[in-house]
């Protein structure tokens, strides 16, 4: 893939032109490439990721930002974009600086994969997919499955009028297998997936044993009982804990919600919100983390930020504007979904750190309740502090032991009550990272990683 620096001069000229009207301007150039293979019972569908490329430019108009984008690096298209943004700046009080510190970072980072996916080739990708399909349907009783192998190379170049110049190429492979069990008109699916930053070595983490286990779980779901409902003790598996950390807690710690006065967490900064064993961090610098960034889209390096330290809510995630408003520094969490989307404060990899409880000890401590397994989705509520996490299955807990399997269910309740009621945090041996996609509201989807161990607390369980 050609280097985006070939368009750097064009973007720099545009920024110099805007600097005549605005105290600050920045540009993000992006180009994406990749491949996708989907295989189901009857078809092999392959596609090459869109050859999408373009740039977005933002300038400070004195009281607000003005922004435009174009899906072309042609000089005429970029000049037209400059005209439109300059028109939006006309009459603005442009001599005042925008809030917050402008990045002056200069750097270049590329994913160093052992086996880059771009070198694998379509035929080998299909072979990987066929293996996944074969593994899924080799379990007696499973005739159907949907599987896929995907990879993307996301190249971004950030420039601003303060001197920042950051280029990054992030390679993200992803693979999934979704065995489907059917019986008497019922269909149950049990998808599993892997993802990260790197190369084929990430895809290879999805093993034959993992896929076969998923197939057996899909079969068990056909006869799973309905879950109990109501308020009860709950043990979350690592993926469900990770979803809680991201959706239920993390979104409230995004400081653009502080600016909107839309976070139930903001008044609690500096206060204790959970047991001393509870630590939650966001870390965009994990080398193979699915949600990692080398530089964010304001030119700040990805970094580790403590959110809860030994039970105390100590930090939030900031962009330049929210950092200025709350006396903090930007934390490398300003992200655009792509050159078509705006910046928001976003998580990268958000983790609840493990402690020392075994699964058996957590179940015994719970005594009665339910274990939630295999997360499906989660929804944030940064204003109200409510939680909603949906899982595909779980087990009843009776007399301190795991009992019968139950089907899909949803966890709800208040996040602060859930944190307060944490009675045990699992150990590192069962810690798991989950690759996912997150929207800010209902749009601007981007890759995020979440992680956690088993966790015991109390919540409301309902149908899903």
Partner 1 sequence: MTASTSSSDTAFRVADRLARVPGPWDVYAVRTRRYEVHLVRGRVELVRGPIALEGYGIRLLRPRAETLGTGFQSSTDLSEEGIARVVADAETVARHSEFPAPKAELPSSGPAGPSLDIRDPALWDRPRETLDRYVAALVAAFEGEKEVTASFGSIKVSLMETSIANSSGLHAAYSHTGVETEVAVQSFGGPEGAPPGEYWVTAAERRLEPEKLGSKVREWARIARDVRHAEPPPNGEMPVAFPPEVLSEILPAALSFKLSGQARLQDLAPTLGTNVGPPDLEIADDGLVPWATGSSPIDDEGVPQRRRQLIGRGEVAELVYDVLHGNALGARSSGSGFRSGRVASAWLSFTHQPNPSTTTLTLPGGGGGRDEEVVEAAGDGIWIQQIGWASPDPVSTAFGGEIRIGYRIRGGKIAEPIRGGTVGGYAMAPAGQPSLLRDISVVGSEPRLCGCLAMPTLLVSGVSVGGEGGPRPTASP
Span 26-55, contacts to partner 1 by CB under 8 A? 40-48, 50-54
Minimum CB distance to partner 1 smaller for 48 or for 428: 48
Dist. CA 233–CA 457, nearest whole Å: 6
Q: Cα–chain-centroid distance for residue 251?
A: 11
What CA–CA distances, in Å, run from 57 to 25, 49, 78, 89? Answer: 7, 24, 10, 13
Binding mask 326-345 for partner 1 (x = CB under 8 A): --------------x-x---
- Report the run of H or E that residue 361 belongs to, with start and end: helix 359-366
Dist. CA 99–CA 96, nearest whole Å: 9
Binding mask 89-128 for partner 1 (x = CB under 8 A): ---------------------------------xx--x--
Closest to 46 measured CA to CA, from 134, 116, 123: 123
Minimum CB distance to partner 1 smaller for 360 or for 368: 368
Q: Cα–chain-centroid distance for residue 453?
A: 17
Residues between 352 and 381 with contacts to partner 1, criterion CB under 8 A: 368-370, 376-377, 379, 381
- Report the run of H or E that residue 402 belongs to, with start and end: strand 401-406
Judged by CB under 8 A, which of 115, 264, 306, 314 binds partner 1? 264
User: How far apart are CB 36 and partner 1 at their closest, in Å?
Assistant: 10
Dist. CA 423–CA 3, nearest whole Å: 51
Minimum CB distance to partner 1 smaller for 104 or for 229: 229
User: How far apart are CB 297 and partner 1 at their closest, in Å?
Assistant: 14
Residues between 276 and 335 with contacts to partner 1, criterion CB under 8 A: none
Closest to 437 measured CA to CA, from 428, 429, 446, 426: 446
Minimum CB distance to partner 1 smaller for 139 or for 218: 218
394 binds partner 1 (CB under 8 A): no
Minimum CB distance to partner 1 smaller for 306 or for 340: 340
194 binds partner 1 (CB under 8 A): no
User: How far apart are CB 68 and partner 1 at their closest, in Å?
Assistant: 6
Residues between 425 and 454 with contacts to partner 1, criterion CB under 8 A: 441-443
Minimum CB distance to partner 1 smaller for 161 or for 388: 388
DSSP structure class, residue 245 = I
The answer to whether 35 and 47 are in contact (CB under 8 A) is yes
Binding mask 64-83 for partner 1 (x = CB under 8 A): xxxxxxxxx----x--xx--
7: which 2 tokens? 């368009």
Minimum CB distance to partner 1 smaller for 268 or for 422: 268
- Report the run of H or E that residue 12 belongs to, with start and end: helix 8-19
């Amino acid at each position: 893939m050609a280097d985006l620096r070939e368009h750097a001069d064009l973007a720099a000229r545009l920024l110099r032109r805007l600097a005549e009207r605005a105290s600050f301007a920045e540009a993000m150039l992006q180009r994406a490439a990749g491949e996708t293979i989907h295989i189901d019972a009857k078809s092999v569908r392959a596609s090459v990721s869109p050859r999408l490329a373009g740039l977005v430019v933002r300038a400070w108009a004195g009281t607000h930002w003005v922004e435009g984008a174009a899906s072309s690096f042609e000089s005429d298209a970029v000049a037209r974009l400059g005209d439109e943004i300059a028109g939006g700046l006309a009459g603005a009080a442009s001599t005042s600086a925008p809030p917050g510190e402008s990045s002056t970072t200069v750097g270049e980072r590329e994913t160093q994969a052992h086996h880059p996916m771009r070198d694998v080739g379509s035929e080998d990708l299909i072979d990987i997919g066929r293996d996944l399909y074969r593994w899924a349907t080799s379990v007696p009783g499973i005739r159907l499955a949907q599987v896929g192998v995907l990879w993307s190379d996301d190249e971004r170049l950030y420039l601003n009028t303060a001197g920042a110049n950051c280029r990054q190429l992030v390679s993200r492979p992803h693979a999934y297998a979704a065995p489907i069990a059917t019986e008497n008109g019922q269909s149950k699916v049990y998808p599993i997936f892997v993802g990260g930053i790197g190369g084929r070595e990430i895809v290879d983490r999805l093993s034959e044993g993992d896929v076969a286990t998923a197939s057996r779980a899909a079969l068990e779901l056909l006869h799973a009982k309905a879950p109990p409902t109501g308020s009860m003790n709950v043990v979350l598996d690592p993926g469900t804990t990770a979803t809680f950390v991201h959706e239920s807690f993390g979104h409230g710690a995004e400081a653009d919600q502080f600016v909107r006065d839309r976070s139930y967490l903001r008044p609690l900064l500096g206060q204790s919100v959970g047991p001393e064993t509870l630590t939650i961090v966001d870390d965009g610098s994990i080398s193979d983390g699915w949600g990692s960034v080398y530089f964010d889209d304001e030119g700040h390096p990805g970094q580790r930020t403590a959110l809860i330290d030994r039970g105390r809510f100590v930090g939030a995630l900031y962009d330049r504007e929210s950092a200025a408003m709350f006396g903090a520094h930007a934390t490398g969490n300003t992200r655009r979904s792509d050159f078509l989307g705006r910046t928001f404060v976003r998580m990268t990899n958000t983790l609840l750190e493990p402690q020392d409880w075994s699964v058996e000890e957590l179940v015994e401590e719970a005594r009665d309740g339910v274990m939630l397994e295999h997360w499906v989705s989660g929804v944030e509520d940064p204003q109200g502090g409510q939680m909603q996490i949906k899982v595909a299955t779980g087990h009843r807990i009776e007399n301190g032991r795991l009992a019968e399997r139950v089907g899909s269910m949803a966890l709800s309740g208040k996040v602060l009550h859930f944190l307060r009621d944490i009675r045990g945090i699992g150990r590192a041996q069962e810690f798991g990272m989950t690759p996912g996609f997150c929207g800010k509201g209902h749009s601007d989807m981007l890759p995020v990683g979440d992680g956690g161990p088993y966790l015991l607390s109390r919540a409301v369980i309902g149908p899903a």
